[in-house]
Structure 1
Amino acid sequence: MIPSLQSEGLVLAEVNGCLGLITLNRPQALNALSLAMIRDMSALLTAWRDDPRIQAVAVLGAGREGKPAAFCAGGDIRFFHQAALAGDAALDAFFTEEYALNHLIHQFPKPYIALMDGVVMGGGMGISQGAKLRVLTEHSKLAMPETNIGLFPDVGGGYFLSRCPGHSGEWLALTGQVIGAGDAIELGLGDVFVRSSELPAIVEAFRTGAQDSAEHVVATVMERVDLAPVAEHWNARALINRHFSAASVPALFASLAADTDPWARQTLATLAKRSPLMMAVTLEQIRRARAMSLADDLRMERDLVHHCFHLRPGAASETVEGVRALAVDKDHAPRWRPARVEEVTPAEVEAFFRSPWPPAEHPLRALD
């Protein structure tokens, strides 16, 4: 029932009755995903999808004593930086296999429950947004902060952010704003709220209680559901919809600059730190994805991420520069090219959306 795993303990698997339980066990790195962890999750879910004895799956992040919780902080961005500079083929494998895993989760035919306690960012959103039951706590911190490192909200971000109400998807995608449980539920990025003090009992019941049906597994969570906190950003939704409906990033900047509301000023200051090129790519990504299936969105994102590392290879890549500034040198002073939103040309953006592969050779051609 448990296939052999290769991540050397970074992914733990247990079976209790009809439940398969996955624990991301890299707490010192906020359970960020490595390629081996992605492969282990894929192997487990493929095996359990096809095993009639497994009727439900739950996934959680291991914690550290006395430290804030983290479900999964995303992909291993230091690995991205090293692999891109070294020309390591494992970088391509990482994104191909991660996006295939995201698709597997969205299409999983049995209840898949994500206990989204603490930090849930980037790749952590990718392995939770496809869940049948997305469980939030007062410690949940959800975000797609990729524009901060010269990337775009991938792992299906085009698909799930574009389906948020109004233009809140564009707002989350471009700013990387962190939201809590209340906003996540309002925006369709979470389902239920459980107090973190109830999580140990849920996990203990998953591990040792009588889990004899998918209904019982789900009930283990639902019997502890509480009222979610008030959404912090919900009162800004009129401003979000007004400004983030702008036709382009320069038009968005102009719209915010003309608004004296403190929210608009703060939002403009946040966007001013992001990669102008990748904000333009991201806005186009979200708008194209609204009319796409998940599989087509993931194929588009695979094209985009290829270009993030190969249109301008090595240190010239916006993504390599963004990771350098945030996580390697930690000077928090990325040298974006172009440096201003007005300098980004339509041709530069369009180049990201040209697939480097014929459809029959696309690395995600098998997704349906």
Structure 2
Amino acid sequence: MEASVLFDELATDDGHVVGMITLNKARQLHALSADMFPLLRQQLLIWKTDKRVVSVFLTSTGEKAFCAGGDVKSLQQTLVSTEGEEAKKQLVSDYFTAEYQVDYLLHNFGKPLIVWGDGIIMGGGLGLFMGASHRVVTETARIAMPEITIGLFPDVGATWFLNRLPHPGVGLFLGLTGASINANDAKYLGLSEYLIPAAKYDEVIKALTTLAWQGDTALHHQQVDELLTAQYADANFATGNLINHQSLFTELSTYTDLADVMTCIQAHDSSDTWLQTSIKKLLLGSPISAHILYRQVNQYAALDLAGCFQLELDLAVNVCLNADLVEGVRALLVDKDNQPNWLYELIADVPVNFVDNLFSSPWTRDCHPLRTL
């Protein structure tokens, strides 16, 4: 069986190396299974200290997706077949700890790390994407954090990056609705500075290997930026959607209660198909997930990156064991009946103390699996 992640080293003309990471599960849209995280982490740690390696390039096989997210279907099915609360807790903790360690390492890799954002970039895929120092999107890029549809919550560092978007209320809206955005939307939000046609992939790789790499890592970042900027060409990229609705997002950011946010969204009169599709996802999604996201962007905006991952691990364990994840994945990905039986039918039905408990860590601080981040 072929490996789920491929690694290669491309020799540069001046004697250096560009590390190549290729996600290799095209039929599953590169869903991140538990076996992939140790492979990624081990290779990244090797390349991080290898003086020959001047840059790392993260991509995937096929044309449909960079990465559609974590393999939550396998996670759900394993949870269903596992007996005992402690065994389930360990299972969930192991999966998300390994995933978040990789994401955190990407954010702190140091050397230029380029990600090729082609096709679907969702959930855990966006976690990988946001960890890169140089983020490319092609004309086919479709970016979203759609966790509300499966009863999870925006994780993989979303508590950090949704709170750092340059326009008010957008992070709240994207997290609540799981709205899909395109390459120009990504540029609007600063998620990517490089809009490069998919057809230029080989040209970009060639340019990396023929570059005269300087002796300083800071200069390497500048060199990669100049290289990618020179490949920028957005003529055939679709117009973004977000900018057309910024007044709504800004209004949402002024409210201090989720109920008021919901009222505003539902009362908003628009015939825009993109907006209506996004709002529908919110109304059909998990009410518990909506409450979690609302707290993420209102109470945890000041957390540093490590703190965000630690919080999200607490939430992941609690949500998988006590909330809507198992049922949400069943309805959307296993039985595919699209009829989730959420624990609470309406957002107004969710008790405050229930949400409080989801934000309570299952570990003491000195025993937290991510305490060393």
TM-score norm. by structure 1 comes to: 0.90
- Check conservation: 1:10, 1:37, Cα contact below 8 A: yes
1:298 is aligned, of 304, 309, 333, to 309
SS at match of 2:121: strand
Q: Could you tell me which residue of structure 1 aligns to residue 70 of structure 2?
A: 75
Equivalent runs, 1:223-242 vs 2, <5 Å: 223-227=230-234, 229=237, 230-242=239-251
Cα 1:12–1:204 change in 2 (3 A) is farther
Q: Does 1:279 align with 2:295?
A: no
Give 1:21-32 correspondences, 5 Å limit.
Answer: 21-32=20-31
Where 1:120 maps in the other structure, the secondary structure is: strand
- The equivalent residue for 2:217 is none
- 2:108 counterpart residue number: 107
| C-alpha deviation, 1:131, in angstroms | 1.1
**Could you tell me which of 224, 233, 257 is aligned with 1:248?**
257
* One of 195, 198, 201 as aligned partner of 2:197: 195
Distance 1:343 1:167 in 2: 24
Change (3 A) 1:70 1:258: closer
Give the C-alpha shift of residue 304 in structure 1.
0.3
1:205-226: CA deviation from partner (whole Å, max 9, x where unpaired): 55x6567554655554332112
Shifted more, 80-89 versus 268-277: the winner is: 80-89
CA positional deviation for 1:255: 1.8
1:83 deviates by 2.0
Deviations 1:300-357 (A, max 9, x none): 00000010122x2xxxx40010000000000011111110111111111111111111
* Structure 2 Cα separation of the partners of residues 56 and 195 of structure 1: 21
For the residues of structure 2 that align with 1:272 and 1:53, how far apart are their CA atoms?
Answer: 51
Counterpart Cα distance in 2 of 1:186 and 1:250: 28
Identity %, equivalent residues: 34
Aligned counterpart, 1:308 = 319
C-alpha change, 1:175 and 1:244, in structure 2 (3 Å) is farther
Unpaired stretches in structure 2, ≥5 consecutive residues: 11-15, 83-87, 215-219
State the secondary structure of the residue aligned to 2:6. strand
1:86 counterpart = 2:67: no
**TM-score normalized by the length of structure 2:** 0.88
1:222 to 226, 229, 250: 229
Paired residue secondary structure (1:223): helix
Per-residue deviation at 1:8?
5.1
Please list every run of 5 or more consecutive structure 1 residues that lacks an aligned counterpart in the other structure.
1-6
Distance of aligned partners of 1:23 and 1:205 in 2 relative to their CA distance in 1, 3 Å threshold = farther
State the distance in 1 between where 2:277 and 2:333 align.
24
Rounded Cα–Cα distance in structure 2 between residues aligned with 1:266 and 1:175:
9
CA contact (8 A) 1:19 1:211 kept: no
Measure the CA separation in 1 of the matches of 2:365 and 2:186: 35
- Aligned partners of 1:201, 1:69: CA distance in 2, in Å? 20
1:289 pairs, out of 300, 303, 313, with 300
For these two proteins, the number of residue pairs brought into alignment is 351
